[in-house]
Structure 1
């Protein structure tokens, strides 16, 4: 009889913000962007300056025409993840600027990184430079009437990916007083445990699956009230997809939804359920 060995791997790009969560270990807990030395709120200054630079690139003729043609709405969201080394220089291999607009991939925006200046790096309590990764999310208005793409300051979209969310949804049983890093870890572990304990391991013998590794990709959303909604799954057999959806429906209502800029938002979440079929 065939059997399966189940693994769950959470397919989430978790970005750690240790310096921001534990500023007591740092003399400079956030990078200083060019022109922000004398500003009290260094992080806010970083956001404004970086958004201005991205806006200039979006308004280049070829870029703007592509966005005007392919964007489905009059607003677009741009995600950035910039890796700065110990000296404040950008590590382009591990940095990106991206948007979900059709036919406008991360590769097409890679050159945006060339326009971003080096920063003064994070410093630990011994004044040693520390590498850091800064993720930000920006909104832009596609103003076709004036042939311009305009930054929307303080923009909060309806949906914010789990890896970008400022305040993580709080899973039942997790201490809401934990920092973002620990809350992400807690939710990941609890979802993984729920799937491992509830997924039916006897499906392999019933479905006649061939030996080898199988994957079911599952996606769902956590709405503004903490409910799990919009569950979809893609796998090698419809029965496996249905089983994955059945299991994810067991996730209880979360204690708190995700928050971005102090507003509740929808948080998409994705994971593959991976298992091996043995003869």
Structure 2
């Protein structure tokens, strides 16, 4: 039997992000949601209005029945990433509201249609500027009253990569890079780590049948930049233990992830992929 290491696929779930460049001036630095014109804190008003609007739509039977059936807890968190164009209109192909009970690849289709046009960000010449808002909204599943209720004032401690504002920085990566470049750099560093330390001899000893094999590894980067809560699922318990052993070798990161200028825990998922042949 031959063992061929085919490489590593890294699942970061990072959406495209449009952000304001530092040093530029804006006459309107944030979008204005319907009904927030006269509010002193327009960012907070936007968050509350969108939070309540999504909650209202989640109470529609088509969404509510599924959430009540599949949610394992009495509360859920819903990641949102909304890109508004220069006129304040949602760009649906670059926007998402993630299904909290089915994972990052599953979107709550139809909810974007309920979000109204906003007043866009304006540069110093009053030209509209495309802008992305990201949120992690929490909701209480009140099964006794058959209702989904927004949990206002929720401050997340764990934020998925789909909406993270500043990704964790791996040792050896330049923290001045963009999120996309930082993820690419980290992908390469993790791939090097696994290629160097993963034992191919172990896989040969297990007598696995021919074909493509995957070991799915999940872990979290805590607020100190340390890797924690490593879990693995693969075709053999020994391979799962080996994957965990290798990920435990990851050094403490230069900096953790940030959301709303605060340190947060960031989950990662890595499939280690290899091929076994006769």
**TM-score interval, normalised by the smaller of the two chains:** 0.7 to 0.9
Aligned partner of 1:55 in structure 2 is: 55
2:219 corresponds to 1:213: no
What TM-score does the superposition give when structure 1 sets the normalisation length? Answer: 0.76
Alignment pair present for 1:264 and 2:266 = no
What's the offset of the Cα at 1:79? 1.5
Q: Which residue of 2 aligns with 1:137?
A: 136
Report the alpha carbon displacement of residue 248 of structure 1 after superposing the two structures with TM: 0.5
Partner Cα separation in structure 1 for residue 245 and residue 264 of structure 2: 25
| TM-fit CA distance, 1:203 | 3.8
Tell me what 1:4 maps to. Answer: 4
Q: Distance in 2 between matches of 1:274 and 1:125?
A: 50
SS of residue matched to 2:185: helix
Shift of 1:216: 1.4
Distance 1:94 1:262 in 2: 23
Post-superposition offset of 1:68: 5.8
Q: How many residue pairs were aligned?
A: 277
Within 5 Å, give how 1:154-193 maps onto structure 2.
154-193=153-192
- 1:269 and 1:188 map into 2 onto residues whose CA distance is 11
Distance in 1, matches of 2:146 and 2:228, equals: 38
Q: TM-score, normalised by structure 2?
A: 0.76
Q: Superposition RMSD on alpha carbons, in Å?
A: 3.8
Matched with 1:199 is: 198
Contact kept in structure 2, 1:217 and 1:234, CA below 8 Å: yes
Q: Which moved more, 1:69-78 or 1:58-67?
A: 58-67
In structure 2, what is the Cα distance between the partners aligned to 1:185 and 1:43? 31
- C-alpha contact (below 8 Å) 2:79/2:162 kept by paired residues: no
- Measure, in 2, the Cα distance between the counterparts of 1:256 and 1:197: 24
Identify the residue that residue 242 of structure 1 maps to in structure 2.
Answer: 241
SS at match of 1:19: coil
Worse-matched range after superposition: 151-160 or 93-102: 93-102
3-state SS, counterpart of residue 136 of structure 1: strand
Shift of 1:209: 3.4
Would the aligned equivalents of 1:97 and 1:112 in 2 still touch at CA under 8 Å? yes
Gaps of 5+ in 2: none
2:106 & 2:93 partners in 1: Cα distance? 12
Alpha carbons of structure 1 residues 78 and 4: separation in structure 2 relative to 1, 3 Å:
same
Q: Is the 8 A contact 2:97 2:112 kept in 1?
A: yes
Quick one: distance in 2 between partners of 1:219 and 1:29? 37
Q: Distance in 1 between matches of 2:43 and 2:23?
A: 13
Deviation at 1:50, TM superposition (A): 1.5
Unaligned runs of 5+ in 1: none
1:227: Cα distance to partner? 2.2
Per-residue CA deviations over 1:201-234 (Å, capped at 9, x if unaligned) read 3344323334433221110112233321221112
| Conserved 8 A contact 1:19-1:25 | no
Deviates more, 1:39-48 or 1:269-278: 39-48
Q: Contact 2:18 / 2:132 at 8 angstroms: preserved in 1?
A: no
